[in-house]
Amino acid sequence: MNRTGLLIALGIAIVTGLLFGFYPELDLRVARYFHGFSDGVNNFSWRIYPPLMIARDIGLWISTLLVAAVLAVLAWKLILPRRKLLLSGRAILFLIATMALGPGLLVNAVLKDHWGRSRPIDVKQFDGAETFVPWWSTRGDCPNNCSFVSGDVSGAFWTIAPAVLTPPPVRVVAVGAALALGTAMAAMRVMAGGHFVSDVIFAGVFTFLVIWLMHGLIYRWPRTRLTEESVERAIERAAMPGHNFFVRLFGGNPDKLK
C-alpha cells in the first residue's frame, strides 16, 4: 500500500478513461466478439455455460466468506465485550470499512444505481432495446443495477484488502492471488455480456483506491492512524450498554462481571 500502487492505479484509470472515452467503440468491439458465441438460442452464451457460472459463484463466495468471518469475530466481541478480540481490531475496522465504502456504497449504491449505462446484453448493437453510451455518460437507458461499474468485480478485487494484511513472507503471493481473482472475475463478466471492458477496469481501480485510502487512514498516516488498543477499547465502550442491559434483563449484575 505505497505510492507506487497508487500511481499505477491512477495511471490505469487515466489511460482507460481517455482510451475508452475517445474511442468508445473499443468497448463494443470486445463485446461483439463474445456476443458471437451462441448456443443456437442465446448470444453471449458464455453467461449460461455451467463451468463459468460455477467459477463466478466461487469468486463471489470467497469475498462473502471473508467478510462473514470478520463480522462473526466482531459479533463475538459485541456479545462478550470483555473478551479479547480474536482478530486485530484495526484489521476488523479496515476490512469492514473497505467493503462497506467500496463494493457497498460507491459501487452498488452510488454508481450502479445512478450512472445509467446499459449492459452489453441490453444494448441495440447486440439485439437489446437500450442505447449504448460511453463510460463517462450517465444518460443511458438503464434505470438501476446498471453496467458501470461491476459489483462482482469490485467484490473480487476487494480481496486485496485482507491480502495486504497478511505477513510479509506471504503478502506478495496473497496480493497476487487477489489480483488474479479480480482479473478472472472481470474476464467472466465481459464474456457473459454483463459488463463492458471499461466497466470492469474502473471497478478494480475504484475498489483499490478505497482500499489504499483506508489503509493510509488506519495504518500509515501519523495524524490518523489508530492503535490496536484504541480500537478494541472503542468496540468495548460501544458494546457495554447493550451487554449490561441484557445482563440485567436476565437478572444478573453487570458489576460482578468486571
Q: Is residue 140 part of a domain?
A: yes
Long-range contacts of 74-83 (CB under 8 A, 24+ apart): 74/235, 77/235, 77/236, 77/239, 78/235, 78/238, 78/239, 78/242, 78/243, 79/239, 79/243, 80/243, 81/235, 81/236, 81/239, 81/240, 81/243, 82/236, 82/257, 82/258
Does 64 fall in a domain?
Answer: yes
Domain assignment of residue 100, yes or no:
yes
Q: What is the mean pLDDT of residues 121-131?
A: 96
Cα–Cα distance for residue pair 67/159, rounded to 1 Å: 10
What's the pLDDT at 244?
79
Total number of domains in the chain: 1
β-sheet bridge partners, residue 38: 43
List % helix, strand, coil for the chain (3-state, nearest 5): 70, 0, 30
Q: Which amino acid is at 91?
A: A
What residues pair up with 123 in beta bridges, in sequence order?
130
Alpha-carbon 30 to chain mean position: 24
Whether 252 is in a domain gets the answer no
**pLDDT over 70 (residue 193):** yes
Radius of gyration of the chain (CA): 22
Check pLDDT > 60 for residue 258: no
Determine the number of helices (DSSP H) and then strands (DSSP E) in the chain: 10, 0
3-state secondary structure of 198: helix
- Is 70 within 8 Å of 90 (Cβ atoms)? no
**Is pLDDT above 70 for 74?**
yes
What's the mean per-residue pLDDT of the chain?
94
CB 20 within 8 A of CB 135: yes
| 80 within a domain of the structure (yes/no) | no
Q: Is residue 235 part of a domain?
A: no
pLDDT for 248 equals 73
Distance CA 172, CA 150 (A): 25
Average pLDDT over residues 228-248: 87
- The answer to whether the pTM exceeds 0.75 is yes
What are the CA-CA distances from residue 242 to residues 103, 174, 250 (Å)? 30, 38, 13
Q: Tell me whether residue 99 is in a domain.
A: yes
**35-39, 72-76, 119-123, 245-249 — which is least confidently predicted?**
245-249
- The residue ranking higher by pLDDT, 29 or 250, is 29
Domain that holds residue 110: 3-73+90-225
Average pLDDT rounded to a whole number, residues 60-86 = 95
Q: Which residues contact 183 (CB under 8 A, 6 or more apart)?
A: 204
Query: Cell 460455477 belongs to which residue?
Result: 54
Query: Is residue 36 one of the residues assigned to a domain?
Result: yes
Over residues 232-249, the mean pLDDT reads 84
Contacts of 133 (CB under 8 A, 6+ apart): 24, 116, 117, 118, 139, 140
Asked whether the beta carbons of 80 and 254 are under 8 A apart, the reply is: no
Looking at residue 225, its amino acid is R
